[in-house]
Amino acid sequence: MSRSPSPALPLDGLSAIVTGAGRGLGRAEALELARLGASVVVNDYGQPGRDGSGEASAAPAEEVAAEIRAAGGRAVAHLGDVSDHERAGALVQLAVDTYGKLDILVNNAGILRDRMVFSMTEDEWDSVIRVHLKGHFNTTRFAAAYWRARSKAAGAPVYGRIVNTSSEAYLAGSAGQPNYAAAKGGIVGLTTSTALALAKYGVTANAICPRARTRMTEDVFAGFAEPAGGELDALAPEHVSPLVGYLASPAAGKVNGQLFVVHGGMVAVMERPKVAAKFDTAKEAFSYEELTERLSPYFEGRPANETFGAAEVLGLKRG
């Protein structure tokens, strides 16, 4: 990563937090924000297991922060579990104390504990919901309170950007990930609610559904061939990070409450759920018999594997 000598970088003078930034997508996002001029707090809990197991380590976050500084940027590392409410608050405060303010929050931290719903334990459910959904809430809550207070003190809107990380597991379902899919769906709901609540303060909130080959998705994409000859992998995190940089920038000031699917040189803007069919009772109220007569033929005529969402936005070839 190298910093442009131009003084007109789009994120110059802005500060950012990226959670889960020690590896994979978060690392690519932190590097991209720094390349665009932002001062970055690199957060990561540093556990070696993608299921959240192992001893916490500051090394992953420190390495990314050092990489940013070596390229001429500004960065500090933060070791902390964002699912801990107090630590999330301390993370936001660290950005304010270090850089004088917080302008951008990118929520990326997460773990996986995959299991079919009939086999999943309570802890496997709770831990994934806690890190993904509660972790997104915790940082958002403290950042939102900070921006609201700044706006009220200034008597005008302030600059604030939130970029959350959802998943196509929410859009299309994922049979072995009921906890993950539910958490990612909850993140979309949190994002749209936050977008409405903070718009008057000058803050936007958007979410992305990225596809990328990372430590968390190594099993998912194990069958997809990596390119030879030095070509950029279609599943490289670097295909995702530019969208995060854009959503964090002044250029995206009118983009709010949106959901994007992004990977391999493709960005798709998703629509909110639409009515697929509507049925009105012929009487005062529906009866079981009328619903059976009206609804069953409709669903029997649809593909057995069809869900309410789009299963694939863009196909990928397996190697």
> Which sequence positions are flagged as catalytic?
167, 180, 184
The strands making up 15-18's β-sheet, listed across from edge to edge, are: 75-79, 39-44, 15-18, 104-106, 160-165, 203-210, 259-263, 266-269
Contact 18, 43 (CB under 8 A): yes
Token pair, residue 312, equals 């694939």
DSSP assignment of 116-143 equals: -TTT--HHHHHHHHIIIIIHHHHHHHHH
Q: Half-sphere exposure of residue 149, counting CA atoms within 13 Å on the CB side?
A: 8
Alpha-carbon distance values, 222 to 216, 219, 226, 304 (Å)? 11, 5, 9, 27
Token pair, residue 207, equals 């979410």
The label of the residue with tokens 């969208």 reads 243
Contact 38, 248 (CB under 8 A): yes
Helix axes 178-198, 135-154, angle to 10 degrees: 10
Nearest partner of 142 among 12, 17, 14, 13, judged by Cα: 17
| Backbone dihedral angles phi then psi of residue 23, each to the nearest 5 degrees | -150, 170
Contact 116, 176 (CB under 8 A): yes
Nearest partner of 232 among 263, 261, 262, judged by Cα: 263
